[in-house]
Amino acid sequence: MGKLAGKVALITGAAKGMGYTEALLFAQEGASVIATDRDTAAGEKVVQEIHQQGGKAFFLEHNVSEEEGWKNVIEKTLQAYGKIDILVNNGGILLQKSLENTTSQEWDQVFDVNAKGVFLGCKHIAPAMRKSGGGSIINISSIYGLIGGPNAAALAASKGAVRLLTKAAAVDYAKDNIRVNSVHPGLIETPLTSEIMKDPTQKDWFISKTLLKRAGQPIEVAKAVLFLASDDASYITGSELVVDGGITAQ
């Protein structure tokens, strides 16, 4: 029996990177997965891969910043599976710009996806989870939800918002047996960080700050997300799980 046998899990931003890896891992652990993303072509491929491995999944096109999109995704999931046990608010974007060079449009765009997207997910999933007796929400923040860094003003502000939104949601939803936790990855090798990984100056800077002296792999974050999603984390809510090779330990 997998750790998520019988569970229904909705994962946003599941077409690539960590969301992709989480979708595969969750399906291997027995969950029925709803993979959502803006990128339909890549998202469909993830679902094909899950089917090839004998897992259950379907894909829905979804922009996490749009409220109507959330309603549609939740409605379709309930029609297909009758409940939602797990939500991973993973979809997010990166902006590497100094505070002074960040435009108000860029600020709004980063907040629309990284902060409002998570807010809308936490808001619209609650009635479904309440109805089925509880659930687990995992919000993907960042080390930049815990500390600052160069050229990270809008990113860090949006990920800091995710950290405290998570705690406020944990307080609101505890009575409904809905656990809400945040995950804080360090530098992880995904399409999002491909430019950083190709730039020796940036890559070396990150690695020099990382106790384990390497970038992380998506599966190393996915396993932490799986733990929080599963009943192994039944007494954990409002917490922050740091998966950063030790960057923020110093």
User: What is the spatial distance between Cα 1 and Cα 205, in angstroms, rounded to a whole number?
Assistant: 42
Part of the chain binding ligand NAD (CB under 6 A), chosen from 47-55, 74-82, 121-129, 188-196: 188-196
Looking at the Cβ atoms of 112 and 176, the one nearer to ligand NAD is 112
SS3 per-residue string spanning 192-244: HHHHHHHCHHHHHHHHHHCCCCCCECHHHHHHHHHHHHCHHHCCCCCCEEEEC
Q: Are 181 and 170 in contact (CB under 8 A)?
A: yes
Q: Does 13 bind ligand NAD (CB under 6 A)?
A: yes
Give, to the nearest 10 degrees, the angle between helix 117-131 and helix 153-173.
20
Backbone angles phi and psi of 97, in degrees to 5:
-145, 145
Distance, C-alpha 248 to centroid of its chain = 19
Helix axes 17-28, 218-229, angle to 10 degrees: 50
Smallest distance, ligand NAD to C-beta of residue 6, A = 26
Residue among 147 and 174 whose Cβ is closer to ligand NAD: 147
Task: Out of 2, 76, 93, 95, point to the residue binding ligand NAD (CB under 6 A).
Answer: 93
Evaluate the CA torsion angle 179, 185, 188, 194 in order and state its sign: positive
Of the chain, the end-to-end C-alpha distance in Å amounts to 39
187 binds ligand NAD (CB under 6 A): yes
* 130 vs 28: CA distance, rounded Å: 26
Minimum distance, C-beta of residue 190 to ligand NAD, in the bound complex (Å):
3
Taking the least distance from each CB to ligand NAD, the nearer of 135 and 145 is 145
Task: Verify binding: residue 19, ligand NAD, rule CB under 6 A.
Answer: yes
Nearer to ligand NAD, 96 or 132 (CB): 96
What residues between 27 and 66 interact with ligand NAD by CB under 6 A? 37-39, 62-65
Please state, in angstroms and rounded to a whole number, the distance separating the CA atoms of residues 234 and 232: 6
What's the closest the beta carbon of residue 233 comes to ligand NAD, in angstroms?
Answer: 19
Minimum Å distance from CB 187 to ligand NAD? 5
Q: Which one of residues 7, 55, 92, 137 is an interface residue with ligand NAD (CB under 6 A)? A: 92
Footprint on residues 124-153 left by ligand NAD (CB under 6 A): 140, 142
Query: 151-170 mask for ligand NAD (x: CB under 6 A)?
Result: --------------------
Q: CA-to-CA distance for 92 and 80, rounded, in angstroms?
A: 26
Q: Kindly determine how many residues on this chain lie close enough to bind ligand NAD according to the rule CB under 6 A.
A: 29
* Binding positions for ligand NAD, rule: CB under 6 A: 12-13, 15-19, 37-39, 62-65, 90-93, 113, 117, 140, 142, 185, 187-188, 190-193
